[in-house]
A and B are shown apart, each in its own frame.
Chain A
């Protein structure tokens, strides 16, 4: 009989190559010092790859709300939302989010990944077709697969390509769902929403925008890309996560659709898992209130993002996209050199994400930074300084070596 894990031998070899290059892919935070600093390998390290966009993880109001919920409601709910796991605090969070988004209905899921699984599978079925952007997050792909719908992938951020595919498909007798992301997690680029809305007007599909990296971040009200573009009314469904700007764990789907509440009963990732823990729900509610109360956090994030973006570009580094975004990815030549530079950055005191194929579009090797409103200007400048020493030097050497 074949050993099930035999097929993972190549993966093991890759893990060993990474280890030989000097570190674990997921270094261990020995102690968190603040939203932007941790002790890693005994060193005080700047965190520049945490998606902690709003820097709320150590906010007194959030911690206090979490501690109170832990004391009042216990450590876990031990059940699904459709059984014993619905508490008043879950409904309060859903009302708070719906209010923040200006939408009628909101459903909370236990993780961000499950929010996408649950929304795709709850909305679409085998007779429907989902059109998804080629650079969609893995949770979208997995949710689409779980739904059993026919899946058509269109070229990244290419509304004309979507138009072509919709035209070619014609009427299938089922519903058509188009899935976009507000900010794409790897390169930091936004969906050109107005272009897609034009295609929507022509073909009449239903639109879902995953605002995982843009909720709390973009728009005059912090609701995400649709808010920034002034097109909230065109997003039939919005998905978001609590593990980024909200600083907790969980996710949500929201909509004005009159039948939206039924998704609670058509979505297995909602039904067949325990509801989020009281502490997580309470910290999320406190964070949503905080984001509404302190819109200046978005201004700080924008200023910090611009500082890092222009700083890194000033070093001659090639970045993931041309617009300022809290996700700033530096393109590198190949996997071995990316590993070396990532390790050197970590040893020098900054943690960024290393992103390698197939987790990246176009086989790119990336050193990916995510910016926080909680970063100080000095921290941003230190990140730029370390990229200057560790990365810019290497890239130039590689370029001159290639030219020689």
Chain B
């Protein structure tokens, strides 16, 4: 991971902690909903925290193709640029 990716990963990990009830170890390839066994509403609530922190909109449509931490890092990076 680049420094930028690492920084986003660390922030996402922090924001994900309240939803990570099973304290699953987070890696770039972690599948957020599946590996953490969290429901669709919790995923959307988590993404809302990400939106607020990075001051960006992540439309729900984007989430259907976003599964892993790495996917979400890419989404954040792409939307930071625009």
A residues with a Cβ closer than 8 A to B are 129, 134, 144-145, 150-153, 155, 165, 168-169, 357-358, 361, 363
Contacts and interface: CB of A to CB of B under 8 A. Distances in A.
Nearest to B47: A153
B48 A357 contact: no
Nearest to A132: B60
Interface string B38-63: 01111011001000000111011100
Nearest to A360: B41
Given A151-B59, A169-B57, A358 B40 contact: yes
Contacts of B56: 168
Contacts of A358: 39-42
Contacts of A150: 59, 61
B48 A168 contact: no
A29 B48 CA distance: 41
A155 B45 CA distance: 9
A129 to B, nearest CB: 8
Interface of B: 39-42, 44-45, 48, 55-57, 59-61
Contact of A151 (B42, B48, B60): B60
Q: Is the interface of A mostly helix, strand, loop or mixed?
A: mixed
Nearest to B58: A152
Given A357-B39, A358-B39, A134 B57 contact: no
Given A165-B57, A168-B57, A169-B57, A153 B48 contact: yes
Which 7 interchain pairs have the tightest Cβ spacing?
A358-B39, A151-B60, A358-B41, A150-B59, A151-B59, A152-B57, A152-B59
Given A150-B59, A358-B39, A358-B40, 9 more contacts: A134-B44, A150-B61, A152-B57, A155-B48, A168-B56, A169-B57, A358-B41, A358-B42, A363-B42
Contacts of B59: 129, 150-152
Contact of B41 (A129, A152, A357): A357
Nearest to A135: B41
A134 B40 contact: no
A361 B40 CA distance: 11
A151 B58 CA distance: 9
Contacts of A144: 60
B55 A168 contact: yes
Given A134-B48, A168-B55, A153 B60 contact: yes
14 contacts: A134-B44, A145-B60, A145-B61, A151-B59, A151-B61, A152-B57, A152-B60, A155-B48, A165-B57, A168-B56, A357-B39, A357-B42, A358-B39, A358-B41
A169 B57 CA distance: 7
B10 to A, nearest CB: 24
